Chains A and B, each alone.
Chain A
């Protein structure tokens, strides 16, 4: 029935309904404070200064080699072994899969991560592709094609997509990071890239991902968004997908992952051509066994006074007494790095939820935002590779958990134990707003429509040796 439905006509009728006007005129208006908070978030995003190195490296083997050389030059005289694949800023374990296995040399491979990848042992389980003619709303999609000046879907133009042969290449799973690469084999490699000026253009991306075991959905939503980059060559295209999971995947052997991948004609705005359901399995227990997870907890008491920058409905500085504030640290020593997680375990009675949360606002050593950063020194030398940018999640009990990953691997432990790893926690407080110095009593209730700049000052909170296993 839906096949014959005229979607455009239906949509127009729904909009012509007087109910539309009634609802539209009475729609809710978000309060100004909420809109300001969302707007401020856009000022919190940043492009890491060395991100282009990674992007360049992913685009071509020559770029990869040049980026490695550049990194070596940049980091000459560094404190510990340089792994060619590491980005200097914003470390993410999943970046490891961005370097094709054949380009991982003795100098650039991390043996422990290789083990995690090997033990995952992924296998293709099945693939089903549904092209436009088989979709219930094909007529609507075809009208969209025509509206954009393109011919309707035809098998002559697009039938070759039915022959796409996806194949899982590698999986990296350490309990939190879940990254994988899928190779799409095709005889039409040239038209798979949006960069190629061919008659047919195509792009594909992971649209939705669900976790399934024997066909039944488990554990609900794992988040449908992930990074996805592509590497193109003459015989196909490789996709790199990375997810940071808020809860671990179910254990118990192999599980199946189904990626639902939309295939789009890039000449048409939202020009769906087909949906591809690709299922692969991998050995969760094997991957986790290879991560050598070793967890330690510690209490990190804070003391003295500090100025917290609060950023909720407005922004303001608030002097606070840190005596009695205790952070609980959970250090998980994995093959993919050291995951450090912090939560406020104890605080004086006058500490509000907002204060606890503001203390754990995520920022890094560059201190572009207010909040806490984590850094480390090796034998007194400053870090060379930054930890990941912190993630803060609300946990089941409503508390906030702040997590960073240090790029320190088990094979470094013995060397680093001798030199000593010291972790530093630093608080960053706003000290100027749009060029105007602010003080401890600063409060900002109005914000320029076109954005604003802040600078922060740093105050050491505490430092302590990292007790490597």
Chain B
């Protein structure tokens, strides 16, 4: 089933090899829900441990990434449901002139409604393919495209001062 060059995620080494490049992605998607890097690290750590425990439910390396992202999102949403979250993104609260553009861009994304925010983050920040986003979010690929279009329209409005 798995090609010879793909890691066998049922082994510790294979799982670590497949998961290590996703460290940033897991943190980022969790941050998009929880708005705190500390909490995002909690969620990402929990997702990795759950992923390891349930690794046998993934049977090909191509499914691994969206599957693990889905777990991270579920962990983050569960934490958010328990009230474990903060009001604003930490770096947005620390806004300064030097970082104005960067922070405005991020703030615009984080202010999007969740249904647009998550596809936009995964697509634009994390460079995930539409098909993988669809699997991670459990929505049809057409819906991902549709949300990206709508999210993009809102961002254009928010970021018009930057000439985009």
Which A residues are closer than 8 A to B by beta carbons? Answer: 2, 5, 7, 10-11, 14, 17-20, 22-24, 26-28, 30-31, 33-35, 37-39, 41-42, 44-47, 135-137, 140, 144, 194, 201, 203, 205-208, 220-221, 223-229, 241, 246, 264, 266, 269-270, 313, 394-396, 398
Q: Across the interface, do A30 and B132 meet the contact criterion of CB distance under 8 Å?
A: no
B86 within 8 A of A: no
Q: Across the interface, do A31 and B152 meet the contact criterion of CB distance under 8 Å?
A: no
Q: Across the interface, do A229 and B130 meet the contact criterion of CB distance under 8 Å?
A: no
Q: Across the interface, do B37 and A34 meet the contact criterion of CB distance under 8 Å?
A: yes
Whole-angstrom distance between the Cβ of A9 and the nearest chain B Cβ: 10
Which of B49, B57, B129 lies in contact with A41, CB distance below 8 A? Answer: B49
Measured between beta carbons, the chain A residues less than 8 angstroms from B44 are 34, 37-38, 41
Measured between beta carbons, the chain B residues less than 8 angstroms from A201 are 1
Main secondary structure of the interface of B (DSSP, over half): helix
Q: Across the interface, do B28 and A30 meet the contact criterion of CB distance under 8 Å?
A: yes
Q: Across the interface, do A136 and B59 meet the contact criterion of CB distance under 8 Å?
A: no
Measured between beta carbons, the chain A residues less than 8 angstroms from B130 are 7, 10-11, 140
Q: Across the interface, do A228 and B145 meet the contact criterion of CB distance under 8 Å?
A: no
Which of A33, A35, A313 lies in contact with B23, CB distance below 8 A? Answer: A35
Contacts A23-B155, A203-B1 aside, 6 further interface pairs with beta carbons under 8 A come to A23-B120, A27-B125, A34-B41, A39-B20, A137-B140, A137-B141
Cα A288 to Cα B46 in complex, Å, equals: 28
Closest to A203 in B: B59
Cα A39 to Cα B134 in complex, Å, equals: 26
For the side of the interface on B, what is the size category?
35 or more
Q: Across the interface, do B123 and A26 meet the contact criterion of CB distance under 8 Å?
A: no
B114 within 8 A of A: no
Q: Across the interface, do B45 and A41 meet the contact criterion of CB distance under 8 Å?
A: yes
Measured between beta carbons, the chain A residues less than 8 angstroms from B59 are 194, 203, 205, 264, 266
Binary CB contact string for chain B from 78 to 101 against chain A (1 if under 8 A, 0 otherwise):
110111100001010000000001
Closest to B162 in A: A22
Measured between beta carbons, the chain B residues less than 8 angstroms from A19 are 124, 152, 155-156, 159, 164
Chain A to chain B contacts (Cβ below 8 Å), 20 pairs: A14-B148, A18-B164, A19-B155, A19-B156, A22-B159, A23-B105, A24-B124, A24-B127, A26-B102, A33-B41, A45-B52, A220-B81, A224-B70, A225-B71, A227-B57, A228-B56, A264-B63, A269-B62, A270-B62, A395-B82
Q: Across the interface, do A23 and B1 meet the contact criterion of CB distance under 8 Å?
A: no
Interface centre among A136, A205, A225 (most CB of B within 10 A): A225
Measured between beta carbons, the chain A residues less than 8 angstroms from B135 are 207, 270
Which B residues are closer than 8 A to A by beta carbons? Answer: 1, 11-12, 15-16, 19-20, 23-24, 26-28, 31, 37-38, 40-41, 44-45, 48-54, 56-60, 62-63, 67, 70-71, 74, 77-79, 81-84, 89, 91, 101-102, 105-106, 109, 120, 123-127, 129-132, 134-135, 138, 140-142, 145, 148-149, 152, 155-156, 159, 162, 164
Closest to B17 in A: A42
Cα A38 to Cα B29 in complex, Å, equals: 13
Measured between beta carbons, the chain A residues less than 8 angstroms from B159 are 19, 22
Cα A396 to Cα B82 in complex, Å, equals: 6
Which of B28, B84, B131, B152 lies in contact with A144, CB distance below 8 A? Answer: B131
Cα A195 to Cα B50 in complex, Å, equals: 26
Question: Which 9 A-B pairs give the minimum distances between C-beta atoms?
Answer: A2-B142, A269-B62, A23-B124, A26-B105, A228-B57, A27-B125, A34-B41, A194-B1, A30-B27
